[in-house]
Each structure stands twice: as C-alpha cells, then as structure tokens.
Amino acid sequence: MKHLCLNLKRFDVPVEMGGVNRLAAGNVWAETIVSGTKEGLEQYRSKARFPMYFPEAHVIAAAQAAGDGSMIEVGCQSVYRADVAPGVNFGAYTTNRPAASMVALGVSSTIIGHCEERADKLGVLQEAGVTDTAAVNRLLNKEINCAISRGMTVTYCIGEKAEEREHWQDVLSEQLSIGLDGVDKEKVIIAYEPIWAIGPGKTPPGADVIAPIARFIKEKTGGLPVVYGGGLKQDNAAMLASIPEIDGGLIALTRFQGEIGFYPDEYLEIIRIYMENCEK
C-alpha cells in the first residue's frame, strides 16, 4: 500500500493578500480540491491511500465534499497535546485543536512533527530558555498519542537540518525513539523531510541519499512505511517511485513557477506518474 499525502498548509490565502490561492474563494476552497480529485483517485483504491491535511477552517467542507466511502481521508494539521476527557476537561482549549474536536468534525488523519511545527515549538521553548530538542519530541509524542487514542492515523515527520547532517542518524534516532514512545505504531507512517534541501535554490537529494535513510528509518521502527517528505512533484515522482524503501510521498504545492499554487489537475498528474512508475 502506498501513502500519498497532501499537506495544504495555508494555501487558502488569496494572491491579493500575499498567498498563492488562485483556485477558489475561501469558503469553497476545500470543497473545490476534494471534488476536483476524488473521482480521479478511485482507480487507485486497492493500491494507495490519500490523506489530505487541511487547515482547520476547512475540514468541515472537505469532509462534506468527500462523503462516505471516499478514497480521500480528510486530515488536520496536528492536534493538541491534551484531549477532552470526562471529569477532567470538557473543552477549555482556546486556540488549540483537541483530537476529539477534529474527529467530531469528520477528520480521520493528522500530520504531526512537520519541520514547520518543530520550528514553531522550538522557538517558543527557546523564548522560555529551553534549547533541548528532546523537549520538542516529547511534546510531539503527546500529540501522536492523543490522535491515536481517538482512532486517527498519523503521518509523523522527522528530518535533519543542514547543521545536523554529519550526525543525522543521531537526530533521526532521537526523533523516532522519543516521538514514538508508547505509541501504537500500526497507526503511524513516517515522513522523512531533508530540511537541509527544502527551499528555493537548494539541491534536492537523489535516490542515493534517500534510500539508505529510508532503510535506516525502517530498521529503527520495525518496518513502518516511510514516505518522502521533501516534496513529491512531477519532476521527482518517477525517481521516488523507483526506490523500494520509499512507500509514497508528501505533496504540497503543485506549481513552483509562474502562477505558483496548488491545482487539482496537476496533483492528479503527480499521482499518475508516481503510481505508474511504482508498477514497473
């Protein structure tokens, strides 16, 4: 089974407000994405799963557009590290996303530990004088356990920065050992993000770099699925599909030049290229 995840971040912000959304008005943005892709994904029903991680404001529209039995798994972008519990806390979580609230809205999956989330948490901790990266992993571990306890599947992101490349094994080992401590791993896939290679002007890694890292992750996790989190695109889909140790990818934008943004037809083309090359 392949795992082709879509992380839509804040791609709902209109171009005139500094964003990349040329697709649809904010109130129908998620519906447009789901409606524009769900029929095209049906042909892969027995071969792949398709979590789509939406900003919280859009999960209701996405779930309604997906409907019952859809190939699309509506997901949210992380959950809070504590959850609603009878006699403990019935919902006093202002600004946060308890797993219970997301499941109640139709969410079945979540992405946790994305490099942007890690950077945000580390920044908050540093303001408090804490520089221990293990603290970030402990917080993420709480989020993962909360999500799984509510029946959600989790895409757990790990990765090393440029200054960490020489000891990437230690970095990834810590993220895995702490982040997955006490976790029901049957509900988890791992997304490997080469943070050092993400962004304009940076050279993305090839199969010679990705394959041994994916093998390392599988060895450390007892064979969990590993997807490439550095960006599954049209120009690398065939290469990633050719790596036996890679079980899918994380898609974000589909167009990086000209009218930058996410476009459903281009997303389906990425899926087509990847799946066709998996079968070779």
Residue tagged active-site, from 58, 73, 114, 160 = 114
Res. 201: pLDDT tops 80: no
Domains of the chain, start order: 2-278 (3.20.20.70)
223, burial (CB in 10 Å: exposed 0-12, middle 13-18, buried 19+): exposed
Pair 238, 277: CB distance under 8 Å: yes
Residues in Cβ contact with 103 at an 8 Å cutoff, skipping those fewer than 6 apart: 150, 151, 152
Confidence bin at 118 (pLDDT 50/70/90): very high
Calculate the dihedral angle through the C-alpha atoms of 100, 103, 109, 111, rounding to the nearest 10 degrees. Answer: -40
Task: State yes or no: pLDDT of 280 exceeds 70.
Answer: no
What is the mean pLDDT of the segment spanning 87-101? 93
3-state helix, strand, coil split of the chain in percent (to 5) is: 45, 15, 40
The Cα–Cα gap between 134 and 140 comes to 10
C-alpha to C-alpha distance for 223 and 171, rounded to whole angstroms: 19
Cβ-based neighbour number of residue 196 at 10 Å: 18
Task: Indicate the range of 129-133, 150-154, 238-242, 264-268 predicted with least confidence.
Answer: 129-133
Q: How far is CA 56 from the centre of its chain?
A: 14
The predicted model gives 36-47 an average pLDDT of 96
Per-residue confidence (pLDDT) for residue 96, from 0 to 100:
95
Mean pLDDT of the chain: 95
pLDDT above 90 (res 278) = no
Instruction: Give the CA angle between residues 124, 96, 9 to the nearest 5°.
Output: 80
pLDDT tens digit sequence for 243-256:
999 999 999 999 99
Per-residue buried b or exposed e for 79-88, using 16+ beta carbons within 10 Å of the residue's own CB = bbbebbeeee
Mean pLDDT of 87-98: 92
pLDDT in tens, 121-179: 999 999 999 988 899 999 999 999 999 999 999 999 999 999 999 999 999 999 999 99
Q: Is 193 a catalytic residue?
A: yes
Percentage with pLDDT > 90 across the chain? 93
pTM for this prediction: 0.96
Statement: residue 82 has pLDDT above 80: yes
- CA distances to 6, 142, 158, 257 from 145, rounded to whole Å, are 22, 5, 16, 39
State both tokens at 94.
Answer: 């202002």
